[in-house]
């Protein structure tokens, strides 16, 4: 009997090449697993493609709700933006996909785990570390092992009759509920502007002439309603994506430091994430003390780094989650955003836990803040700074 391998399968170029490779070079039966993490991939088409490639069995696992609750919500609480820009859409989905692959591997008693990641990216780290944290099975990663490039893969696909759609020919795409990553093609020139046809979620032309306001309500750090509509966690993110995308909000274009050291030019569409994180972090500033704000931004950055760099399972990440969860007890309230022709701005916020006090902040008459007390405070606050400068003058 042939040995079996289970493969995380997206239906794209890389994973399709891997199916054929496992069958032909390793003489293995392939079980494909596609995990639906939302926004758009046609699961029926992917299943048909797997069958066309002659797999032994194909699993389609709907993990949208789990993805939102266990991965996106923690990321929102952590205001997670890697290098201040990237909302981690791909990074968050990988550990979940790998976990589902492991579940199938156990059920099917396979002898190897496989993925279609290259040796140049971050995804290999996320898959390998999740696989390694949950099993001792060998990992086969043909694209990496054979040092394959895209042109060679396309050739291989042609030779083996693997159908490739036109978008995959132009760009390498990865998408889920939290965002869409676009790589390759002319985007590899960091000075070249991405062509409009790279974007599917965010409108780039003929944008509405009127601003669109969006009201996001949070409870304990988690978005629960938008525009006064209580939506389930998956629907809420889809809704935010639609509204923001229609108003031109959500394109990110930046230079990213990958785990393996490569600098890459990354282009993303992350309309919903952009609005939700902007609103969430604004609300935090209103309800947290200045000490909490200062410290949490350090924790947030570390959290984003761990999630980005494939260390989702690290004990440090679990510890940070505990801290972050505790910090969200007061993050309840409403933030109002204004979206206009690609611009995004917070224009209002309110919370029952607000630490903002109009009576002391006001420049108007009758403030409860006695300015005279500030003199002594400032003198002590700057004591060492002024002293050091006076001494420096004498040196
Ligand atoms: N650079 C991002 C990350 O590492 C996105 C990768 C997207 N992958 C892709 N095959 N296009 O999370």
Q: Does the structure show a pLDDT above 70 at 167?
A: no
pLDDT of residue 239: 98
Residue 109 lies in a domain: yes
Listed residues 350, 369, 386: the one ending a domain: 350
CA of 268 to the centre of ligand 1 (A): 9
Pairing of strands 112-114, 139-140: parallel
Domain co-membership, 180 together with 286: yes
Q: Is 357 exposed, middle or buried (0-12, 13-18, 19+ CB in 10 A)?
A: exposed
Domain co-membership, 193 together with 322: yes
Q: Which atom of ligand 1 is nearest to the CA of 184?
A: 11
Q: Which atom of ligand 1 is nearest to the CA of 256?
A: 1
According to the annotation, is 191 in a ligand binding site? no
Domain co-membership, 117 together with 206: no
Cβ(118) to ligand 1 under 6 A? no
The stretch 275-293 carries a mean pLDDT of: 98
Residue 215 lies in a domain: yes
User: 130 near 95, Cβ under 8 Å?
Assistant: yes
According to the annotation, is 86 in a ligand binding site? yes
pLDDT of residue 39: 75
Domain that holds residue 231: 176-350
Residue 263 lies in a domain: yes
C-alpha distances in Å from residue 297, one per residue of 58, 89, 284, 291, 292: 42, 20, 11, 10, 8
Domain co-membership, 217 together with 136: no
Catalytic residue among 94, 144, 212, 349: 94
Domain co-membership, 210 together with 105: no
Task: Look at phi and psi of residue 332 and say left if phi exceeds 0, alpha if psi is from -120 to 50, else beta.
Answer: beta
Q: Report the CATH number at residue 309.
A: 3.90.1260.10
Domain co-membership, 131 together with 181: no
The stretch 257-286 carries a mean pLDDT of: 98
Residue 370 lies in a domain: no
CA of 117 to the centre of ligand 1 (A): 10
According to the annotation, is 9 in a ligand binding site? yes
Predicted TM-score (pTM) of this structure: 0.96
Q: Does the structure show a pLDDT above 90 at 171?
A: no
Listed residues 119, 138, 167: the one ending a domain: 167
Domain co-membership, 127 together with 209: no
Domain tally, the chain: 2
pLDDT of residue 41: 75
Q: Which atom of ligand 1 is nearest to the CA of 91?
A: 12
Residue 309 lies in a domain: yes
Measured CA to CA, the distance from residue 339 to residue 202 in angstroms comes to 12
Known catalytic residue: 372? no
pLDDT tens per residue across span 178-191: 999 999 889 999 99
Known catalytic residue: 14? yes
Share of the chain above pLDDT 90, in %: 90
Domain co-membership, 153 together with 193: no
C-alpha distances in Å from residue 288, one per residue of 278, 281, 285, 297: 16, 10, 6, 12
Domain co-membership, 161 together with 230: no
Residue 269 lies in a domain: yes
According to the annotation, is 250 in a ligand binding site? no
Q: Report the CATH number at residue 113.
A: 3.40.50.620
Instruction: Report residue 168's pLDDT band, with 50, 70 and 90 as the boundaries.
Output: low
Listed residues 128, 147, 167: the one ending a domain: 167
pLDDT tens per residue across span 34-79: 999 997 878 899 999 999 999 999 999 999 999 999 999 999 999 9
Residue 395 lies in a domain: no
Q: Report CA torsion sign: 15, 21, 26, 32.
A: positive
Domain co-membership, 40 together with 161: yes
Q: 150-159 vs 13-24: helix axis angle to the nearest 10?
A: 60
Up-side HSE of residue 27: CA atoms within 13 Å toward CB?
2
Q: Which residues pair with 16 in a beta bridge?
A: none
Picking from 10, 6, 13, 11, the residue whose alpha carbon sits closest to that of residue 32 is 6
pLDDT of residue 215: 98
pLDDT of residue 395: 74
Question: Which tokens hold the place of 262?
Answer: 């490569």
Q: For the chain, what is the mean pLDDT?
A: 95
Q: What is the DSSP letter of 193?
A: P
Q: Is 355 helix (H, G, I), strand (E, B) or coil?
A: coil
Residue 57 lies in a domain: yes
Domain co-membership, 123 together with 217: no
Q: Does the structure show a pLDDT above 70 at 166?
A: no
Mutate to test the pocket of ligand 1, among 39, 253, 266, 304 (most ligand atoms within 8 A of CB): 266
Domain co-membership, 106 together with 86: yes
pLDDT tens per residue across span 311-365: 999 999 999 999 999 999 999 999 999 999 999 999 999 999 999 999 999 999 9
């Amino acid at each position: 009997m042939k040995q079996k391998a289970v493969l995380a399968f997206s239906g794209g170029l890389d994973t399709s090449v891997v199916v054929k490779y496992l069958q032909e070079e390793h003489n293995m039966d392939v079980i494909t697993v596609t995990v639906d993490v939302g926004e758009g991939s046609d699961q029926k088409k992917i299943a048909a493609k797997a069958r066309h490639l002659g797999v032994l069995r194909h699993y389609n696992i709907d993990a949208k709700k789990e993805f939102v609750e266990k991965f996106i919500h923690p990321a929102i609480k952590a205001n997670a933006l890697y290098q201040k820009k990237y909302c981690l859409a791909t990074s968050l989905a990988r550990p979940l996909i790998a976990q589902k692959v492991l579940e199938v591997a156990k059920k099917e008693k396979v002898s190897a785990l496989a993925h279609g990641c290259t040796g140049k990216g971050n995804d290999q780290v996320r898959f390998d570390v999740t696989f390694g944290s949950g099993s001792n099975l060998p990992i086969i990663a043909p694209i990496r092992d054979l040092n394959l490039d895209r042109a060679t893969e396309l050739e291989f696909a042609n030779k083996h009759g693997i159908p490739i759609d036109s978008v995959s020919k132009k760009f390498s795409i990865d998408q889920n509920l939290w965002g869409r990553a676009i790589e390759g093609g002319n985007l590899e020139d960091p000075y070249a502007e991405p062509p409009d046809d790279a974007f599917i979620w965010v409108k780039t032309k003929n944008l509405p002439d009127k601003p669109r306001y969006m009201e996001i309500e949070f409870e304990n750090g988690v978005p629960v309603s938008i525009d006064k509509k209580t939506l389930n966690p998956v629907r809420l993110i889809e809704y935010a994506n639609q509204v923001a995308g229609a108003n031109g909000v959500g394109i990110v274009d930046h230079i990213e430091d990958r785990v393996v050291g490569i600098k890459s030019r990354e282009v993303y569409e992350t309309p919903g994430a952009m609005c939700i994180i902007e609103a969430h972090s604004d609300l935090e500033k209103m309800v947290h003390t200045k000490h909490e704000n200062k410290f949490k931004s350090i924790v947030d950055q570390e959290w984003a780094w761990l999630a980005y760099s494939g260390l989702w399972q690290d004990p440090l990440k679990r510890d940070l989650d505990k801290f972050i969860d505790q910090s969200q007890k007061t993050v309840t309230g409403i933030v109002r955003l204004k979206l206009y022709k690609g611009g995004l701005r917070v224009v209002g916020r309110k919370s029952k836990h607000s630490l903002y006090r109009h009576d002391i902040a006001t420049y108007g008459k009758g403030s409860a803040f006695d300015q005279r007390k500030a003199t002594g405070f400032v003198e002590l606050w700057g004591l060492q700074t002024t002293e050091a400068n006076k001494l420096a003058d004498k040196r």
